[in-house]
Each structure stands twice: as structure tokens, then as C-alpha cells.
Structure 1
Amino acid sequence: MTPSGFTLFDTAIGRCGVVWSAQGIVAVQLPQHTEEQTRARIDQRYPGLNEAAPPTQVGRAIDRIVALLAGRSVDLSDIALDQAEVSEFQRRVYAIARAIPPGNTLSYGDIAKRLGDVALSREVGQALGRNPCPIIVPCHRVLAAGDKPGGFSANGGVATKLKLLSIEGARVNYTPSLFD
């Protein structure tokens, strides 16, 4: 995998970024506090990568991400990803997550069961925490046991996860407690 370029684009949740290669999208960067911080985050992960106009397929993917984040029910599961830098286990987890429709959720345990062993729940959470393509691989649609949001590694943490779920119309029965 050799990333070809990146671009920033506006969404309902802020200015996001996308990195691509000839094989597909390598990474999606959710918004940081400022555009400069979003750009710096991409540069930190992909030093020296040039900002460029996206190729047609990447432009179409961006349009669909923008639509989803604007509240439209859009399926992103067919967007080509370059997963050369992720493990086979992560690919399996991401494939299950990509099949979760907007407005729906699964738990880490549900995904672990689909992988054949509920004891893999922690590993599922770790794989989703390293997800390089949030939104396209909708890790925000995966909850902890008891409909608790669990973690979210993007800027804003759990609040961002809950915002994304709200945009999609997902019902999450969650009230933060002093112990969360």
C-alpha cells in the first residue's frame, strides 16, 4: 500500500479527510478541532503525503460519506478499501461492521459470536479502536454490552459516537452515569 494522496472535505460534523491509494481508500480522518489539526493528523500518519484532487471513485465515496453524515440513509459497504496494512482478523471484524445498516447497531459480543467465539469481544473492540476508515467501516455502530456506547477513538470520543448514531437515527438506550 502506497497512499497516492489525500483531500479534506466538509461534512455536517466538520471537515474530514480521506487518504487513498490505487487500490482504494486507505484512511478516513474524522474532524479535529481545526482544519489544521485534521491536516496535521493525516501528516502524522502519512508523512509527506500530498494533498490532491481526489480521483473519480474517491470523489464518489466522499459524496456518499457527506450524504450519510447529513442524515441520509446511504450504504457505504461497497466502497473499495485498501486494507493492506490491517490484519486478517481486523478485515473480518471490519467486514461484519460494514454490513450493519445505518440506524442499526451490534455489540462487540455480537461480532465476536459471528467470528465464532464470544471470548473475542475484547479483541473486536481493539480492532475497531484501530479502524483506519471510520464511517466507511462504521465502528460507531458497535456498542458495548447493555447498549453502552463503549469507546470511540475519534476526536470527541463517546460524544462523537453518540452524535453519529443520532444522525443515523439509531436508538441507543444510554444515560451517562458517574461511573462511565
Structure 2
Amino acid sequence: MPQISINSPVGAITVFAFDDQIVALDWGFVDEMEPSPVLEEAKNQLNGYFAGKLITFDLPLAPDGTDFQKAVWDAMCKIPAGKTATYKELAKAAGSPKAFQSVGTACGLNPIPIIIPCHRILASGDKPGGYSGQGGLETKRALLKIEGVELALGSDQGSFDL
């Protein structure tokens, strides 16, 4: 499977592709990279994001998951950089307003974190919720800080109405 690794402010990450679509992003560095045009573009966009120059990813994504998970991930992609939403708001946007716990599960199973921005999802009351990526909440905090959101959450954290 084609893959490419990069160093980032949140640690080494590797992006994987299948059939010219991004299928996964994971923490860590692979020794034997197999780049492809879509992976080179992902690398360029990720570097732009980490430099604060890119606010919207434009990559072909093919995350593997249930229909509900895909609806949640699609809704996440509609949250602009620098904004956040709650699990409850995301559940409503995904068409299942009472399924906010399932939204949390979908966030945790997101196979393409950062690009599918599960770090923008907060618990109710402006609480950070969780983050399953390497570094946990510190990584979530760092990603949001790149976008101009401080996780010392207050009323100015920039909630996005889905």
C-alpha cells in the first residue's frame, strides 16, 4: 500500500493511500515509503496546514467505516478550521440527534485524523472531550492552537453551528 511519512508539530505521521485515495493517517514513521501523486499532495497540504497557510484540505478521501461513521466524518469536514462543534451538534448534523455517544465512537475510529478534523469536536460545556491520536488531549490542543483555538476554553472558542 502506498504510504508517505512526514515530521509534524504533533510528531511523525504517515499517510496511506489506496486507488489514489487517502485511506488512513497514523502516527509514526515508516522506513520504506512508497510515494504516489496523491500522497505527495497530502504531504504538501499537511505541511501547509501545520505552517498555518492551509485551512481546508482538498484531497480524495476513502475512509472505511459504517454509513453512520461516514456521515459523522463528512459532517466533521464541514467544520471550518478555527471552529469547533460538540458531539451533540455533530450527531444532529449526521442525521441522528440522539446518537452523540456514537459520534464519540466515530471520532475515536476516524482513520484519517487531522484531515478529517475530529480534533474540532468538543464535549458539551466547552469541555475538550477526548482524542485518540498519539498524545491524546495535548495533540488535540496543539492542532486547535494551529487553527487559532485555545483549549483553555471559554465563550470565545469559536463554536460552529452545524
Please say whether Structure 1 and Structure 2 have the same fold, judged by a TM-score greater than 0.5.
yes
* Root-mean-square deviation over aligned CA pairs: 1.9
Taking only the aligned residue pairs, the percentage that are identical comes to 35
* Counterpart pick for 2:2 among 5, 8, 11: 5
Any idea what the Cα deviations from partners look like across 1:61-99, whole Å, max 9, x if unmatched? Answer: 2111111122224211x311123x311111100000011
Any idea what the Cα deviations from partners look like across 1:29-59, whole Å, max 9, x if unmatched? Answer: 13xxxxxxx24xx7xxxxxxx9334211221
Task: State the Cα distance separating 1:103 from its structure 2 match.
Answer: 0.5
* Counterpart pick for 1:168 among 143, 147, 150: 147
Task: State the Cα distance separating 1:122 from its structure 2 match.
Answer: 0.3
Task: State the Cα distance separating 1:23 from its structure 2 match.
Answer: 4.2
Q: With structure 1 as the length reference, what TM-score do the two structures score?
A: 0.78
Q: Is the 8 A contact 1:12 1:66 kept in 2?
A: no
2:123 corresponds to 1:151: no
Give, as a single letter, the amino acid of the residue that structure 1 aligns with 2:25.
Answer: V
Task: State the Cα distance separating 1:171 from its structure 2 match.
Answer: 4.3
Give, as a single letter, the amino acid of the residue that structure 1 aligns with 2:9.
Answer: A
Q: Is the 8 A contact 1:6 1:54 kept in 2?
A: yes
Task: State the Cα distance separating 1:174 from its structure 2 match.
Answer: 3.0
Task: State the Cα distance separating 1:120 from its structure 2 match.
Answer: 0.6
* Counterpart pick for 2:40 among 24, 43, 59: 59
Any idea what the Cα deviations from partners look like across 1:131-175, whole Å, max 9, x if unmatched? Answer: 000011000001110111101001111111011101110244439
Q: With structure 2 as the length reference, what TM-score do the two structures score?
A: 0.86
Structure 1: how far apart are the matches of 2:134 and 2:8?
Answer: 15
Structure 2: how far apart are the matches of 1:60 and 1:6?
Answer: 12
Task: State the Cα distance separating 1:100 from its structure 2 match.
Answer: 0.9
SS of residue paired to 1:146: helix
List runs of 5+ in structure 2 lacking aligned partners: 155-162
Q: Is the 8 A contact 1:64 1:74 kept in 2?
A: no
SS of residue paired to 2:98: helix
Q: Which has the larger Rg?
A: 1
2:61 corresponds to 1:81: yes
2:26 corresponds to 1:29: yes
